[in-house]
Homo-oligomer: A and B are copies of this chain.
Amino acid sequence: MYRTHTCGELRIKDVGKKVTLAGWVQRIRKMGSLSFIDLRDRYGITQLVADANASADINNEISTLGREFVIQALGSVAERSSKNSRIETGEIEIKLLGLKILNKAEIPPFTIEDNTDGGEDLRAQFRYLDLRRGPLQRAMHLRHVMSQETRKYLSSVGFWEIETPVLVKSTPEGARDFVVPSRMNPGEFYALPQSPQTMKQLLMVAGYDRYFQIAKCFRDEDLRADRQPEFTQIDCEMSFVERDDIIDTFEGMIKHLFKTILNRDFNEPFMKMPYKVAMDDYGSDKPDIRFGMKMHEITDMVKGKGFGVFDSAEYVGAIAVPGCAGYSRKQLDELTEWVKRPQVGAKGLVNIKIENEDAVKSSIGKFYSDEELKSIAESAGAAVGDLVLIMSGPARKTKIALGTLRIEMGNRLGLRDSSVFAPLWVVDFPLLEWDEETQRFYAEHHPFTAPKPSDMDKFYSDKKEDLEQVNADAYDFILNGTEVGGGSIRIHNSDIQERMFQVLGIGKEEADYKFGFLINAFKYGAPPHGGLAFGLDRFCALFGGQDSIRDYIAFPKNNVGRDMTLDAPSEIEKVQMDELCLKTVSPAEK
């Protein structure tokens, strides 16, 4: 061992001890004849000091040191004259008796401090230096603890962690697969799993009863901001359960994580909100319930008063933004521009300001009396001093746009505090989604998601309107407006599965080709089962109070799927291509 102690553990009680530390030089300060070195490792920072008694050798060594040099320091623990209460070792320092350079370091391309001066690309390229910084070390530690506590909890309630393969079969469903050419089977490919979904269902057929896995998943998608081609799921499945058994079990896990990691207690059950309510009240299937500002439909109230935009609208909805009655014309114009951007896609924005008990101002004042405006504002839940914002148009599209505006106003008003946690289950999702273009239904989740038992009549109806109303036994776990997990009860009955394929317009041959092994497995005694998966990267980021998942992944890819540290992907040698019986063609040759 190169050390007797870490840089984070010495305290006032250790004064007088002779110790050896090893770590990285954080900074060096000279004060007259004294030299101070902050020595850093994963555990903390300890101050080394070469005082008047230090040997010439030590002082010579110190004069050659630079930032990030790796050194070994021998010395005795002494009480500091000027203590530093910001670090845990701040009451002591090490009076140097010896110092050895274990490794030199070139000057790092950015500062290794909590707030660094490095740009994103540079930090990605030198990820091993970025990872030395406090915020990333804390992120990696949080992730470690999340993983261990997840496993501990699930093991304690009878789940077995079972590894499923990474080289699996390509199925042309869902997102695009990453594929792996097979040298031993030329012309054939493995796929990397988009999730262990089918494998975990096989494990239920195999009687494993309670399965989990912290599993790598892969999707070859064009990367949107903050998506990764490889990501990690807490993947789970249970047998002989109904929806609330699953929700209760994993609510237990989530509460365990909140308690052990953030020391937060949630004594009440999490709210369960039907999808329809989420869309009506929040314009989103992942509502952020840290703040109110709920949406209110005012369609009936506003029609027939001569305002054509509202008269022709399928839906008119309003939110009451607290304390913003004083918004200037300029601010309101800016907001209107904001909602007109393609990302929101609204046509316009109507406002009512409740300036005081008597004064109501509105952009649609000429169509509505003050009383009418007041009563609209009241319906939107507005009080004196509030700003009512109103959107109109096709119902679904407008609700989503108004929900987006709600989130924006929440951000602007500081209502989305990352240290507040508002967990929520969204339930009763539609089973099917009608696609106008292809004039057919698609599965909202996947074709193995079960209809709610209470909707079984409608599921067997021939009418499109009935089928549209069938809800799935599916659920999402939402934290602070972010979808962190989701799952469903699966179909285990072959008649219902057959009906599902029929509704989706999937013929027997197609079903066999795509899902043959699973359908076959289901013939041999499949238990009722269901499960869910949590996005671990996202879960960690939320627990850490951060928006981006990248800091919670040791070596993330950039937004063109490149690992800047390893410089992957890269060309491979011709002999490798030959062994795989593969040739690259230019896009033109395809």
Contacts and interface: CB of A to CB of B under 8 A. Distances in A.
A582 interface: yes
The number of chain A residues touching the other chain, given as a range, is 35 or more
B160 A240 contact: no
Contact of A164 (B198, B528, B555): B555
A164 to B, nearest CB: 6
A501 interface: no
Contacts of A187: 571, 584
Given A203-B554, A232-B163, A527-B22, A587 B179 contact: no
Interface in A546-590: 553-555, 557, 560-563, 565-573, 576, 578-587, 589-590
A216 interface: yes
A41 B523 CA distance: 18
Nearest to A580: B179
A41 B493 CA distance: 19
Nearest to A223: B184
A68 B526 CA distance: 9
Nearest to A40: B207
Interface stretch (A10-18, A136-144, A304-312, A429-437): A136-144
A571 B165 contact: no
A560 B24 contact: no
Contacts of A240: 1-3, 22
A249 to B, nearest CB: 10
B140 A68 contact: no
A464 B116 CA distance: 49
Nearest to A553: B163
A555 B181 CA distance: 19
Contacts of A79: none
Contacts of A555: 164-165, 199, 202
A161 interface: yes
A103 interface: yes
A184 B582 CA distance: 18
Given A41-B209, A177-B576, A179-B572, A164 B554 contact: yes
26 contacts: A2-B240, A24-B207, A41-B207, A41-B209, A102-B492, A102-B527, A105-B523, A129-B206, A137-B208, A143-B163, A144-B160, A144-B162, A163-B232, A166-B230, A167-B218, A167-B230, A167-B557, A167-B561, A168-B566, A180-B180, A189-B569, A191-B572, A199-B555, A581-B586, A582-B582, A582-B585
